[in-house]
């Protein structure tokens, strides 16, 4: 082949090259360069152009081609380059035997300075084995990158150049490659440019079936008095073949690898059509039928739709699962079967409405790239409705397999950022506790809470004790007639109660419990009277049953109760967990120790001595949050109460209870003395932050859980204020309710609803900027 070259540089013309960054198929300026190999020795000696290739004729032929096809949509730069290569190789049009064509666009991509497609062709060679080259130049992306603290708090620009070797027969979307890289880099954190370069290469090769890629990353602002510093690398598929053995933080997984053994995965779910709770419940049941064990669930969240905004709100959450002998593709196949065959979910448009959506977020700690499945999920880092529930299931030291940054750091970044309103109206999530009776009408479910900003009403639970020995009301409600029961319940609702808490057995310290039959005789008629009332406000209100007995709970739920309020947190009758799981109802788990006869003496709280338990305080908005200046008696009490609640929650999970059913009550007055009751109220917000890891792998956080406190008329208030008669403790109760609101308590359980409603109104105005209550 000759070493002589005739070339054309940046011939300016225009073409329609598919849809641009604005999704328009419009005429774009492009620049065409061509290099043709030839032998012009004879032309040099004879000084006669007929012995060489005429670049003027070739340029004219290119311009004529583009003029003739100015209304044709070439669809891509690749197709333009192919068309030009044909006339460059046509001897009848003055072409040569070998040509290199470069077609460059400077306006079709917003993020990049230019994109180019380069091909080499010869007149007679087959092109099936030829590799062409795509260049993306000056791609500008904002991301968090660097090892210094100040680099972690503010995004900076990186400039990225990409050079991709692609088979000539392969159709590659430059738009999609740019979108994937931008989305990934902007939602990730990196300490080093080297890691960023490698992960971009891994993303492109894994997702787009490209054999090799060159990546160059420049940090223009890293070093003063330079145009920029950075690194570059040329990578092929083989570059990642041994990644698992050389970099434990970034293991890879090939679909041909063995699938045998035990695996753990995290699956996100979402639903915004039909009976959303039923869809979610059935999807989880189908997973269990496929021998996929649900280890734990997040809270349940309501989110605004993303990408396609004109659709109903979603119910979202994440589950942690374990299974044997299933590859990522096997797991995806099961999820798709549940979506499309079991629940008949239909996606008419991408990211549009669906009955159920199951997305694999993580599988063990691998990375996996295939056209139909990418692990870790490529969009998870931009979705608060995925990250927030996911971080409920993993400890703060768990790293993203690709970014090598903690998931909790990613969550904090997205929560502290402003939403892109073109994609989603709001990042804010509402935690919802489903009520089975209201599954098809969740707008009427008041158990919705904003557990980050606390911009929700404090709910009032009104107490109706149907016992002859109640400590506070002396049995006023015992043996009431149906008319009195109805009028009493309605009065509580009119005074401001959202929930009626009906108790048929006394749980005051020192009391002797009535029999199960007697408890049922007391409470079942009350439920029936309320549910059958002709007053809609009464017949549709939320009914809570204050019981620790499994059979009483089940009979009351069958009779129409909505919530079970268990003062024993499942210690007295662990079978109650099976009832809660069976009926899917809200479950208030109240901390206590011992029995009603012994609890008052069991108030010694020690520091954690179990080496298998590691404790944290987690604030989703601030991963570096830590408790300072706590006295040991405060630490021991708050952690001790939380630890004992947490271990019972683990037991509930093993019985099938979902996290979104649980409301925690730290148990004011139960196994606590006066000063301890004050500590619980004063530090109540920390119960929302408590987290624990057991045996190195079982993780639980109270993030996302609603809290209920019931200091009303308790004995410690009488001691403080010299009020021996419980009825007289109204003002002192009001003081504690105000403190509960300041501590972000979601539900307060009170006797004096009318008076406490006024306290709650003022408290919500002071601490939540809420001035009107419905």
The yes-or-no verdict on residue 763 having pLDDT over 70 is yes
Fold classification of 1-125 is: GTP Cyclohydrolase I, domain 2 (3.30.1130)
* HEC readout, 76-119: CHHHHHHHHHHHHCCHHHCCCCEEEEEEEECCCCCCCCEEEEEE
Range with the largest mean pLDDT of 7-11, 60-64, 679-683: 679-683
pLDDT at 249: 40
The yes-or-no verdict on residue 473 having pLDDT over 70 is no
DSSP state of 477: T
Band of pLDDT at residue 51, cut at 50, 70 and 90: low
The yes-or-no verdict on residue 504 having pLDDT over 80 is yes
**Residue listed under structure tokens 């520091």:** 607
Residue 155 CB burial class (10 angstroms; 0-12, 13-18, ≥19): middle
Q: What is the mean pLDDT of the chain?
A: 88
**C-alpha separations of 610 from 84, 615, 643, 692 in Å:** 74, 10, 11, 12
pLDDT at 248: 37
Which has the minimum average pLDDT: 38-42, 113-117, 389-393? Answer: 38-42
Mean pLDDT of 361-370: 86
Q: Which CATH superfamily is domain 262-422 in?
A: 7,8-Dihydro-6-hydroxymethylpterin-pyrophosphokinase HPPK (3.30.70.560)
pLDDT at 474: 46
The yes-or-no verdict on residue 408 having pLDDT over 50 is yes
The yes-or-no verdict on residue 253 having pLDDT over 80 is no
Helix (H, G, I), strand (E, B) or coil at 57: helix
Helix (H, G, I), strand (E, B) or coil at 32: strand
Q: In whole angstroms, what is the distance from residue 287 CA to residue 335 CA?
A: 8
Which has the minimum average pLDDT: 56-70, 460-474, 578-592, 707-721? Answer: 460-474
Under 8 Å between Cβ of 254 and 304 = no
The yes-or-no verdict on residue 48 having pLDDT over 60 is yes
**Residue listed under structure tokens 């099976």:** 578
Paired tokens of 679 = 């500590």
Nearest to 731 by CA among 719, 740, 721, 745: 721
The predicted-structure confidence for 412-450, as pLDDT tens digits, reads as follows: 988 988 877 888 888 889 999 999 999 999 999 999 999
Residue 546 CB burial class (10 angstroms; 0-12, 13-18, ≥19): buried
1-125 matches 128-241 in fold: yes
The predicted-structure confidence for 596-637, as pLDDT tens digits, reads as follows: 889 989 999 999 999 999 999 999 998 888 887 899 999 999
pLDDT at 244: 41
Which has the minimum average pLDDT: 63-67, 212-216, 469-473, 494-498? Answer: 469-473
Helix (H, G, I), strand (E, B) or coil at 324: strand
pLDDT at 98: 86
Residue 236 CB burial class (10 angstroms; 0-12, 13-18, ≥19): middle
pLDDT at 2: 66
The yes-or-no verdict on residue 774 having pLDDT over 60 is no
**C-alpha separations of 622 from 71, 256, 697, 766 in Å:** 55, 41, 23, 24
pLDDT at 247: 39
Nearest to 685 by CA among 633, 651, 648, 642: 642
Indicate the length of the chain as a whole number: 774
Paired tokens of 357 = 């959506």
The predicted-structure confidence for 666-722, as pLDDT tens digits, reads as follows: 999 999 999 999 999 999 999 999 999 999 889 999 999 999 999 999 999 999 999
Band of pLDDT at residue 471, cut at 50, 70 and 90: very low
pLDDT at 250: 42
Top CATH class of 128-241 equals alpha beta
pLDDT at 704: 96
Task: Give the residue extent of every domain in the chain.
Answer: 1-125, 128-241, 262-422, 456-768
Band of pLDDT at residue 725, cut at 50, 70 and 90: very high
**How are the residues of the chain apportioned to helix, strand and coil, as percentages rounded to the nearest 5?**
35, 25, 40
Architecture of the domain whose range is 456-768: Alpha-Beta Barrel (3.20)
**C-alpha separations of 263 from 228, 363, 397, 693 in Å:** 44, 7, 20, 19
pLDDT at 773: 61
* Residue 345 or residue 764, greater confidence: 764
The helix or strand, by DSSP H or E, that contains position 622, with its residue range, turns out to be none
Q: Using only C-alpha atoms, what is the Rg of the chain?
A: 33
Under 8 Å between Cβ of 263 and 364 = yes
Mean pLDDT of 647-653: 97
């Amino acid at each position: 082949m000759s070493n002589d070259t005739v070339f054309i540089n940046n011939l300016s013309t225009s073409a329609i090259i598919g849809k641009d960054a604005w999704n328009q198929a419009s005429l774009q300026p492009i620049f065409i360069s061509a290099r043709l190999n030839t032998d012009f020795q004879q032309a040099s000696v004879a000084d006669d152009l007929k012995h060489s290739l005429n670049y003027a004729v070739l340029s004219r032929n290119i311009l004529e081609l583009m003029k003739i096809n100015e209304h044709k949509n070439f669809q891509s730069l690749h197709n333009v380059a192919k068309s030009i290569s044909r006339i460059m190789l046509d001897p009848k049009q003055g072409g040569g035997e070998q040509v290199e064509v470069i077609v460059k666009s400077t306006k079709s991509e917003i993020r990049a300075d230019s994109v180019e497609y380069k091909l080499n062709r010869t007149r007679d060679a087959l092109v099936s084995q030829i590799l062409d080259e795509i260049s993306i130049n000056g791609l500008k992306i904002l991301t968090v990158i660097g090892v210094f603290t100040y680099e972690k708090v503010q995004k900076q620009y990186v400039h990225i150049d990409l050079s991709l070797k692609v088979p000539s027969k392969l159709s590659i979307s430059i738009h999609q490659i740019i979108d994937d890289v931008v989305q990934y880099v902007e939602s990730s954190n990196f300490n080093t440019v080297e890691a960023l370069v490698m992960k971009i290469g891994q993303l492109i090769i894994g997702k787009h079936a490209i054999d090799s890629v060159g990546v160059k990353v420049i940090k223009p602002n890293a070093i003063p008095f330079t145009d920029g510093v950075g690194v570059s690398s040329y990578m092929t598929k083989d570059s990642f073949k041994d990644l698992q053995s050389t970099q434990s933080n970034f293991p890879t997984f090939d679909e041909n690898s063995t699938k045998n053994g035990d695996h753990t995965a995290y699956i996100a779910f979402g639903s915004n059509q039909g009976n959303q709770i039923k869809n979610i419940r059935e999807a989880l049941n189908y997973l269990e039928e496929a021998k996929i064990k649900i280890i734990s669930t997040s809270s349940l969240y309501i989110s605004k739709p993303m990408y396609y905004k004109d659709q109903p709100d979603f119910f979202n959450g994440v589950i942690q699962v374990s299974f044997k002998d299933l590859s990522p593709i096997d797991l995806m196949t099961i999820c798709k079967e549940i979506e499309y065959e079991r629940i008949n979910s239909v996606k008419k448009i991408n990211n549009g409405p669906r009955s159920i959506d199951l997305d694999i977020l993580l599988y063990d700690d691998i990375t996996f790239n295939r056209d139909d499945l990418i692990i870790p999920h490529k969009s998870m880092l931009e979705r608060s409705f995925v990250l927030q529930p996911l971080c409920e299931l993993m400890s703060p030291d768990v790293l993203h397999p690709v970014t090598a940054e903690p998931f909790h750091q990613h969550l904090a970044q997205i929560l502290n950022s402003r939403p892109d309103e073109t994609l989603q109206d709001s990042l804010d999530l509402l935690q919802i506790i489903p009520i089975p009776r209201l599954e098809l009408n969740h707008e009427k479910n008041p158990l919705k809470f904003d557990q980050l900003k606390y911009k929700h009403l404090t709910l009032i639970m009104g107490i109706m004790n149907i016992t002859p020995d109640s400590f506070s009301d002396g049995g006023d409600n015992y043996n009431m007639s149906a008319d009195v029961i109805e009028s009493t319940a309605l009065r509580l609702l009119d005074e401001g109660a959202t929930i009626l808490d009906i108790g048929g057995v006394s749980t005051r310290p020192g009391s002797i419990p009535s029999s199960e039959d007697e408890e049922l005789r007391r409470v079942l008629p009350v439920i029936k009277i309320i549910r059958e009332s002709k007053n809609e406000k009464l017949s549709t209100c939320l009914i809570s049953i204050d019981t620790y007995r499994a059979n009483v709970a089940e009979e009351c739920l069958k009779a129409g109760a909505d919530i079970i309020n268990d003062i024993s947190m499942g210690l007295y009758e662990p079978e109650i967990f099976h009832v809660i799981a069976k009926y899917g109802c809200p479950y208030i788990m109240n901390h206590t120790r011992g029995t009603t006869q012994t609890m008052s003496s069991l108030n010694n709280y020690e520091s954690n001595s179990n080496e298998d338990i590691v404790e944290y305080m987690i604030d989703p908005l601030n991963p570096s949050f830590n408790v300072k200046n706590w006295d040991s008696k405060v630490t021991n009490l708050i952690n001790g109460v939380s630890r004992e609640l947490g271990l019972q929650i683990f037991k509930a999970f093993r019985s099938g209870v979902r996290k979104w059913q649980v409301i925690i009550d730290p148990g004011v007055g139960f196994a606590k003395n006066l000063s301890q009751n004050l500590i619980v109220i004063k530090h109540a917000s920390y119960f929302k932050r408590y987290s624990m890891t057991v045996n190195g792998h079982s993780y639980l956080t109270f993030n996302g859980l609603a809290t209920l406190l019931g200091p009303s008329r308790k004995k410690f208030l009488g001691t403080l204020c010299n009020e021996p008669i419980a009825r007289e403790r109204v003002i002192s109760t009001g003081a504690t309710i105000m403190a509960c609101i300041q501590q972000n308590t979601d539900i307060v359980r009170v006797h004096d609803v009318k008076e406490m409603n006024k306290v709650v109104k003022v408290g919500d105005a002071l601490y939540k900027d809420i001035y009107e209550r419905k």
